[in-house]
Amino acid sequence: MGIAITTKQIRSGTERQRIFNHTSRSGTTVHGKTAIIIGAVFFGAGIPIAMVGAGWLDPDGANAPPIVLYCAGAVFSLPGVWLMGYGVQSIVRRRWVDRQMHQFPTEPWQYDYPWNQQAAHYTDWKPLIYSLFFLSVVGAMTAVPYGILEDEPDSVILKISVAFMSLFLLTGVARLVIAARRLLHYGRSTVRFERFPYKLGEEMQLAFERPKQLSSDAELQCQLRCVEDVFEDAGDDGKRIVSYAIYCDNKTVQDADSDGLGGPALTTLRFQLPSGDYESTLRDTPPRYWELEITAKQSGPDYKAVFLLPIYGAGGFPNR
């Protein structure tokens, strides 16, 4: 077995590393009742516009094509529905955390996240759904200037708007195709926990179940990272979610297959966890958490999976 290792502690100040093309665990910068109220406002703004397109309302001066009005309504209503659903989910989640914290006050992994204590799993279903939602919203936004362009074919601004939004559509289509190919090709990926939870300062051992479609000769690029989501100013009093890695441990693993006893081939991965303030706090807003990203290049779709890991440093651990 060949393993190359690079470890970097990047906790302090400007040495934090921004993670690009990363799906944060924060969801959005607003939660609970605030998210529900804002979502309801967006949803409510979109409904009358769609009703005008359907002819159910007939306000003075409304002469846009119906398809334009439908899409304009969707631009507001679709994000509104998502935001309301997220708000409800965050309220339910908060209540669960409070109940678990009361029952297990010294065991943060019991109330931090509803862990599967045997393994972590990954599929490309979530990226696929996100891509579909992105395409729906951007498609509706693109249809608005495109529909108006039919009545004003000489408008340069409309032509530029359509061309600009089309680039976002192409990006969304590419992401959708990549996620769909990986999902169909690899299905569900799994890493098994040697123990639960893992403690900072100790060695962590995981068993990665190599999907059958992942070649035994494929070189695995493994990155263990501690991630902090941060709400940063985005101008006009707005906020955006940015993810930073504050600790990274990189390994390149070759020829690391072991007998899976009739099941999937297993690859053992070992990482020395750091000491210090790196404990998972998925219950917080914004959260801190540990991820293991495994990638590999081969013929067909490249492999990629990101696993959420239970790594803690507080008391309550059994004697080991």
Q: What is the CATH number of the domain that holds 247?
A: 2.60.40.640
In this predicted structure, what is the pLDDT of residue 1? 46
Q: What percent of the chain has a predicted confidence (pLDDT) above 90?
A: 48
CA 297 to chain centre: 22
In a domain, 122, yes or no: no
Q: Is residue 320 part of a domain?
A: yes
Q: Going by C-beta distance under 8 Å and a sequence separation of 6 or more, which residues neighbour residue 250? A: 5, 6, 7, 8, 221, 222, 223, 224
Enumerate the H helices of the chain as residue ranges.
Answer: 32-53, 66-103, 108-112, 125-151, 156-186
Mean pLDDT of 207-215: 89
How many separate domains does the chain show?
1
Residues 6+ apart with CB under 8 A from 220: 208, 251, 252, 253, 254, 256, 267, 294, 295, 296
Is residue 10 predicted with pLDDT exceeding 70?
no
Q: Retrieve residue 205's tokens.
A: 């051992």
- What is the structure's pLDDT at 94? 94
Give just the sign of the alpha carbon dihedral 105, 288, 129, 184: negative
For the stretch 137-170, pLDDT in tens is 888 777 777 766 666 777 777 778 778 888 888 8
Q: What is the pTM of this model?
A: 0.82
Q: Rounded mean pLDDT of 198-220?
A: 90
Q: What residues have CB less than 8 Å from 18, skipping those under 6 apart?
A: 242, 243, 244
CA distance 280 to 203: 16
Q: Rounded mean pLDDT of 42-58?
A: 74
| Chain segment 65-101, per-residue pLDDT in tens | 677 777 778 888 888 999 999 999 999 999 999 999 9
According to DSSP, residue 254 is labeled E
**In a domain? residue 280:** yes
pLDDT value of position 140: 78
In a domain, 49, yes or no: no
Q: Which domain holds residue 196?
A: 1-28+188-320
Classify residue 204 by its DSSP letter: E
Average pLDDT, stretch 23-52? 86
In a domain, 202, yes or no: yes
User: What residues does 203 pair with on adjacent strands?
Assistant: 272
Report if residue 145 sits inside a domain.
no
Is the confidence at residue 319, as pLDDT, over 60? no
